[in-house]
Amino acid sequence: MNTDYKKMLSFELGNDENWVGNTVSLPEDVVEYINITCLEIGYNKIEHLPVDIFSNFGKLTEVYFNHNRISEIPTSIGFLKKLEILTINSNPIKHIPDELTECFSLESFAASDCELESIPKDLGNLKNLEVLLLNDNHLSALPETIGKLNRLYRLELRNNKLKYLPDSFFNLTSLKLLDLRGNYIDKMSLEKLKKMLPKCEIKQ
């Protein structure tokens, strides 16, 4: 029986914590699913995503490839202009490509328990971002443009290597929850932060 790829709205290959997948690569026909809005390939053993993988999926709004062995996010991620949710937790990823900041519809980005050493300097371009989860990484600094994320209400940075926060941080007046536990930010800076963001619950 032939598969009518154009009618498929999602591609699922795991993404359940009870799922123990042994898949190490995506099937060749995945590029035929041109109308999917959701790509779920979490909890597998995938090590590599094709460089141009996302150029085929302009309608994607949700992408999950958490709990794999992926070390690089393809730069073609920038093609996903409708992407709203991106979850890549628990992968050995050190850097996020600058092209991610071209995903202007992004509302939620989760990249906890990776090996991140930096995030794009133009992060502030993601004007619709509301949730940013970067726990358990190796971040020592945040870009100054983070202060442009006017809709951000949840920011988790637990267990990183942060010693200070950029001055623009005080512009994040929509923040309701900020988790800074397990970092190296001095007490004076934290007290100032509490005064500048009185409506935000700060975990330290």
Question: Which CATH number characterizes residue 84's domain?
Answer: 3.80.10.10
Residue 25 lies in a domain: no
Residue 60 lies in a domain: yes
Residue 84 lies in a domain: yes
pLDDT of the residue at 29: 85
Instruction: Choose between 76 and 30: higher pLDDT.
Output: 76
Mean of per-residue pLDDT scores for the chain? 92
Q: Is the pLDDT of residue 46 over 80?
A: yes
Q: Is the pLDDT of residue 6 over 80?
A: no
Average pLDDT over residues 131-145: 98
Instruction: Choose between 13 and 188: higher pLDDT.
Output: 188
From 15-29, 34-48, 182-196, the region with the lowest mean pLDDT: 15-29
Residue 62 lies in a domain: yes
Residue 27 lies in a domain: no
Q: How many CB atoms lie within 10 A of CB 115?
A: 13
Q: How many CB atoms lie within 10 A of CB 9?
A: 11
H helices of 21-110, where?
none
pLDDT of the residue at 1: 38
Pairing status of strand 62-64 against strand 38-40: parallel
Q: Taking a C-beta distance cutoff of 8 angstroms, is the pair 37, 14 a contact?
A: no
Q: Is the pLDDT of residue 25 over 60?
A: yes
Residue 26 lies in a domain: no
Helix (H, G, I), strand (E, B) or coil at 191: helix
Instruction: Choose between 34 and 98: higher pLDDT.
Output: 98
> Residue 148 — φ and ψ, nearest 5°?
-85, -5
Structural domain range at position 162 = 5-20+32-203
Closest CA to 87 of 102, 101, 107, 105: 107
> Residue 183 — φ and ψ, nearest 5°?
-120, -170
Instruction: Tell me the C-alpha distance between 37 and 11, whole Å.
Output: 8
The structural domain count of the chain equals 1
Q: Taking a C-beta distance cutoff of 8 angstroms, is the pair 161, 136 a contact?
A: no
Q: Quick one: pLDDT band at residue 15, thresholds 50, 70, 90? A: low
Q: Taking a C-beta distance cutoff of 8 angstroms, is the pair 121, 143 a contact?
A: yes
Residue 188 lies in a domain: yes
